[in-house]
Structure 1
């Protein structure tokens, strides 16, 4: 399938499958900056922890959407009580600071989601912070500088910033699908709709698992704009009592484009530059980018802002990288370390090589979550999701699987800046050469909320 040379696109879905075991008027009351920081730190620490659990010796990449996963788990928390609810709080590192039923957690998350989805409307940001590099001006190009004639004919794709099809888009959808006879809580439905923009639907898994499976797949297809057509490949079991699903759709244009005509097949080294190579499409870029070199981590980070600078793709590149070095670095990238890297970035002139990619990944996160302490959710004797039907608390379901799919495409184009881009491709001009032809870590972040939309290592971007 050919993808237009216009944008980065992420479609990701998280699904929790549950099997049976024997609102306020003020939307953001109790919302605090402290809770927002605690939540984003918990989400980003979980992103690192899950990525470590998913590491392998054979995959081409291990890409997840931390926001998609966290949204599903927090939605599940709204149905949980007792040990199950505390396990979920513990997973995000919130158990010592927040009571089991503390309203600050769901309401602050709702505020963060509102900021994320309405960023283009200049909503106020509870975090009241921004990456320091965003306050810097673009790097200046000397007036007498002449660019390399090699790039004369390499023009960016013509993009109309007024075209709604060429605007950044972030869409987040959550849903709970429940066996109709096990669900009876209209207040819960109002709460999840109010704070999570979620829906609750009754389905007949027991008698018509085929129709239930088809309905959820159609929901997935709709909310990922057709990028993920089938979340559930096999028909659901008749024992299924609840499915918690989340879909994230992200389409964004670069602030400064890669040069479409400069893309060509080049060598990429999945195990380091002294090892065997593969052929991959590698894009070329040049310009002014946020950049930082960390001696402590023996790695470099560069940012590629999207249009309006609301979100950024950060690329973290170990020095002399290989699969092993990328995985070792991933262990060190907790939320605080990642934030320190980004906060130290400065605008720097650079020439860039970066792979054009279409990556897909699919995981069942059950084992990874169990290793991170999520025991009760998967135990028939201990799980407690009785808020689904408070009148029959003994009919509480158990989580049987957590399915997660991601579809990511990255290519050349953005919205503007082609002339400056071309002038900075001469190797005599940039102060940094950032050649991403070895394994790296990708972090796509909404900067105002610090929520990670997309995260993980890439070892081999070849088709």
Structure 2
């Protein structure tokens, strides 16, 4: 009897150990998948800048592009489209993409404003041609996994009305910041479905800037000219890393009470040379693990510290930039504004499907100057997972 009990206890212990190992492996697999998508985010940055934003202001949301492509890959019956998306996102399976989506939706894109953290709103929407027979499993995925609003609409005779309604949906869910993502003619009587998402972020700096210290100063453009814009100034210690040819500033956002699972920050990547942003972006987008290897982890004393206030908006047809040629079109528009209090940012993305497709660090000095008075790159990122919510560059903050 004792032997039988011992065997039962041993089996229970082995089962418990096996379960822990499985959980540990799943966690490691998820972390690796998240890291892979963070690398993809920088690849997207490089493609967008080289195609449509060379030497111009830019802001867009890699996270939303990833999200809408994940929805498409999980529900399309077109194997060619699914394979293209998996290859594009460097993912091994739709299960892997879904796991990343679940982590981002349940941990990162959760509103923290009631606890004093960033206000975050992230929504998904699906519009299907009403005469189109929708797979019940898709509908279940949309509503219960992706938490998407699901609407059957009349593209055949009311395409323009649907386009306007879909654009209004984005505006409603971004505090009115994002309007007219889908241009005239993008939705036609041949449209079968539209998958969309919208993201709104409003975060206060952990240490706000004193508005009385904001002064207009020159910002140096790449053509040698100058524009005078308001610069925010501070004498407080800052998270700054000094590297070969550039500096990185991390500006943390105020976190919610007892919110230990995440930390949002804005990063500014400032080249040493006034015209050095092209080379810096090239380095960022071609070096594996660049973001994680260039994170300022401690505060330093500052000398001259100034960053400009700015508000920029950018919209583009992403499918043209990313060479999609599978009967689908991808559109995105984003906006970001920073001031003494913090940051307000928003974006919306739509995937439109037509008939042909179904549904080495150097020594840091005691005091560091960080004067962002020439073109720089920026990001809004969740630090624990590395997820890039927004990315962009400033060539002219005026």
Cα distance in 2 for residues equivalent to 1:51 and 1:108:
19
> CA shift at 1:82, angstroms?
2.1
Which segments of 5 or more consecutive residues in structure 2 lack a partner in the other structure?
A: 1-22, 256-261, 344-364
Cα distance change of structure 1 residues 31 and 253 upon mapping to structure 2, 3 Å threshold: farther
TM superposition score normalised by structure 2: 0.79
RMSD: 2.6
For the residues of structure 2 that align with 1:58 and 1:84, how far apart are their CA atoms?
29
1:85 to 82, 85, 93: 82
State the secondary structure of the residue aligned to 1:72: helix
Classify 1:227/1:30 alpha carbon distance in 2 versus 1 (closer, same or farther; 3 Å): farther
Do 1:31 and 1:107's aligned partners in 2 also have CA atoms closer than 8 Å? no
Cα distance in 1 for residues equivalent to 2:318 and 2:97: 23
Seen in structure 2, the aligned counterparts of structure 1 residues 182 and 59 have a Cα distance that, compared at 3 Å, is: farther
Equivalent positions of 1:235-384 (< 5 A) are: 235=185, 236-271=187-222, 275-295=224-244, 298-308=245-255, 310-322=263-275, 325-334=276-285, 336-342=289-295, 345-350=297-302, 351-370=304-323, 374=324, 378-379=325-326
Cα offset for 1:244?
1.4
- 8 Å contact kept, 1:360–1:407: yes
Matches of 2:321 and 2:366 in 1, distance apart?
Answer: 42
The C-alpha deviation readout for 1:391-441, integer Å capped at 9, x for no partner, is: xxxxxxx30x211101111100159xxxxxxxxxxxxx9711110000111
Distance 2:83 2:321 in 1: 18
For 1:233 and 1:87, locate their aligned partners in 2 and report how far apart those are by CA, in whole Å: 25
In 1, the alpha carbon distance for the partners of 2:221 and 2:48 equals 18
Give the Å deviation of 1:315: 0.6
- 1:164 CA displacement: 5.5
Q: Are 2:384 and 1:456 aligned?
A: no
Distance 1:330 1:242 in 2: 35
| Structure number having the greater helix percentage | 2
User: Structure 1, residues 258-305: CA drift from partner, whole Å, max 9, x if none?
Assistant: 111121221001217xx211121211123122221112xx21101000
Q: Matched residues in 2 for 1:411 and 1:114: separation?
A: 29
Superposition map of 1:366-445 within 5 A: 366-370=319-323, 374=324, 378-379=325-326, 398-399=327-328, 401-413=329-341, 431-445=367-381
Q: Distance in 2 between matches of 1:228 and 1:61?
A: 17
Match of 1:118 among 110, 113, 122: 110
The aligned residue for residue 69 of structure 1 is: 65
For 1:73 and 1:197, locate their aligned partners in 2 and report how far apart those are by CA, in whole Å: 15
Q: State whether residues 58 and 313 of structure 2, in contact with CA within 8 Å, keep that contact through their aligned partners in structure 1.
A: no
Q: Compute the displacement of 1:455 (Å).
A: 0.7
Deviation at 1:34, TM superposition (A): 3.1
CA distance in 1, matches of 2:25, 2:62: 22
Q: Distance in 2 between matches of 1:364 and 1:57?
A: 12
| Length-normalised TM-score, structure 1 | 0.69
Judging changes above 3 Å, is the alpha-carbon distance between structure 1 residues 433 and 202 closer, same or farther for their aligned structure 2 residues? same
Aligned to 1:231: 181
Distance 2:55 2:165 in 1: 31
Which fold has the larger relative contact order, with Cα–Cα distance below 8 Å and residues 6 or more apart in sequence?
1
Secondary structure in 1 matching 2:384: coil
Change (3 A) 1:286 1:32: farther
Give the Cα separation in 2 of the matches to 1:31 and 1:408. Answer: 38
Distance 1:352-1:365 versus aligned 2 partners, 3 A rule: same
Q: Give the conservation status (yes or no) of the 8 Å contact 1:62–1:361.
A: yes
SS of alignment partner, residue 202 of structure 2: strand
